[in-house]
Structure 1
Amino acid sequence: MFTGLIEEIGTLRRISRQGQAMILTIEGKRVLEDVQLGDSIAVNGVCLTVVAFDGTTFTVDVVPETFRKSTLHRLAPGQPVNLERAMSIQSRFGGHIVQGHVDATAVITARDNEDNAVIFRIEPDDGAVLKYIVPKGSITVDGISLTVVEAEETYFTISIIPHTLAQTVLQSKKPGDPVNIECDVLSKYVERLLAFRDKPNSASSGRKPALTEQFLADNGFY
C-alpha cells in the first residue's frame, strides 16, 4: 500500500521488451536506501516488485496486464518517473489509500495557471471510471495523491501547488500527455457491496440490507 506522496523523481535507464512483457531498470536514490528483493515500489503509480538492484538502480518486471492497463509501455529511456516505496508502519499517512493498481489511463487536455496553482484538466480513456470520481474526493494521477476540483461527465480537474509541481513529473506534463489514474478504493468497494445486495442468489437476498444508497446519501458518502 502507498500514500501517494512521491519520494523522488527517478529516471528510466533501460527497457527490455518481449511481446507485452517488459523489464525496466530505473535510477533512483532515496528509494534505494533500504531496498530489498521483493520490495514494492510504485513507478508512476504502478505497484511493481524489485527483482534486482545495485547502488544506483533497481529492476522490475512488467507483465502483459500492466503493459495494457498503464502508460508504462509509452515510456522511453531517459524519461523521468515518480517513485514511492510502499508505506511502512511508522510512516505518517499524509495522502490517501493508494494500492498502485491503475484503473485507467487518461490524457491531459488542458494546463492553466491560476495564481500560485496549476490546473490540469484530465480525460480518462475509459469514461466508466468517472463514476468513482467526486468533487473534493481523492484521486491518484501518476502515483500522486490529489484532490479533485471538478468532476464532470467526461473529465475531472486537479489543482497543483508549487511544491507538488516541483517534486513530481507533473512539472513537465502538457496537454496531450498520458497519465495513469487510480480512483479511491472505497468507492469501488461500496459499488461491489451494493451490486451483491441486488443479486437474487446473494446471501443477503430476502433480507433488509444494512447498507443502502439512501443510508450512504444521508451520511454524506455521496
Structure 2
Amino acid sequence: MFTGIIEERGEVIAWQQTADAARLTVRAPLAASDAKHGDSISVSGVCLTVVGQGSDWFEADVMDMTIRMSTLAELTPGRHVNIERAMQVGDRLGGHIVQGHIDGTATLLSIEAGSAWRVLRFSLSAEEAPLVARKGSIAVDGVSLTVSAVGDDWFEVSLIPETLEATTLGEREVGDRVNIETDILARHVLRLAEVAPAPSTEEVAS
C-alpha cells in the first residue's frame, strides 16, 4: 500500500530481459537504506518486490503481465523513476490510497505551461473513463494527483513546482507514455454496480 507521495527519484541501473520476464535494478539510496528481501517498493507506480539489494540499490523481478501493462520495458540505464516505499501504519496519508496495481498506460497529449506550473493532458481509455472524475484522485507514474479536468477520452492534472521538481513528471514530453492507477474506491463502486442484481418489478413499482 502506498500514498502516491514520491520519496525520491531513482536511477535505472539495469534492465535484464528474459523470454517472459525481466529483472530491474534501480539506484535509490533512501529506499535501499532499509530495504529487506520481500519488501514492496513502488517504481513509477508499479508495486515491485525486492529480491536483492545493496547500500544504494535494489533489484526486483518483473513478470510478463506487468511488462505488457506498464511502461517498465521502456526503461534504459540512466532513466529516472519515481520511488516510494510502502507506507507504515500510523503514517500521515498525504496523498491517497495507492495500491501499485496499475490499470494500464496513458499517453501525454499536451502540456500547458504557466509561470511555475504545468497542466498535463493524458489520453483516457473507454474502460478507464468511468473511473476518473473531476476533483477525484489518480496516480500517474505513482504520483498522487487530483484530476483538474476530464473529457470522454482525456483527463488533465495540474502540477505545482514541487511536483515538477521532485518527480519525473517534470521531464515528460508530449507522446510519452505513463503508468496510471485509478482510485480504488471508484473501482469497487463500478464493480458493485456491475454485479448488483437488477431490481424486481415489484421494487420498481414501489
TM-score (norm. length: structure 2): 0.94
Paired with 1:30 and 1:42, the residues of 2 have a C-alpha distance of: 13
1:32-71 to 2 correspondence within 5 Å? 32-71=32-71
- CA drift at 1:197: 1.1
Instruction: Tell me the SS of whatever aligns to 1:128.
Output: coil
**Change beyond 3 A, Cα 1:206–1:61:** farther
Instruction: Tell me the SS of whatever aligns to 1:195.
Output: helix
Partner in structure 2 of residue 83 of structure 1: 83
The answer as to 2:4 corresponding to 1:7 is no
Partner in structure 2 of residue 135 of structure 1: 134
Instruction: Tell me the SS of whatever aligns to 1:112.
Output: strand
The aligned amino acid for 2:8 is: E
1:168-187 to 2 correspondence within 5 Å? 168-187=167-186
Segments of 5+ residues of structure 1 without an aligned counterpart are 209-222
Paired with 1:11 and 1:81, the residues of 2 have a C-alpha distance of: 6
- CA drift at 1:86: 0.4
Partner in structure 1 of residue 164 of structure 2: 165
Which range is displaced more, 82-91 or 107-116? 107-116
Paired with 1:89 and 1:142, the residues of 2 have a C-alpha distance of: 23
Q: Deviations over 1:2-27 (max 9, x none)?
A: 00000000000011111231100000
Segments of 5+ residues of structure 2 without an aligned counterpart are none
Q: Deviations over 1:30-84 (max 9, x none)?
A: 1122111100000000000000001121000000110111000111111000000
RMSD: 1.6
Between the aligned residues of both structures, percent identity stands at 42
Paired with 2:21 and 2:201, the residues of 1 have a C-alpha distance of: 47
The aligned amino acid for 2:80 is: P
Partner in structure 2 of residue 72 of structure 1: 72
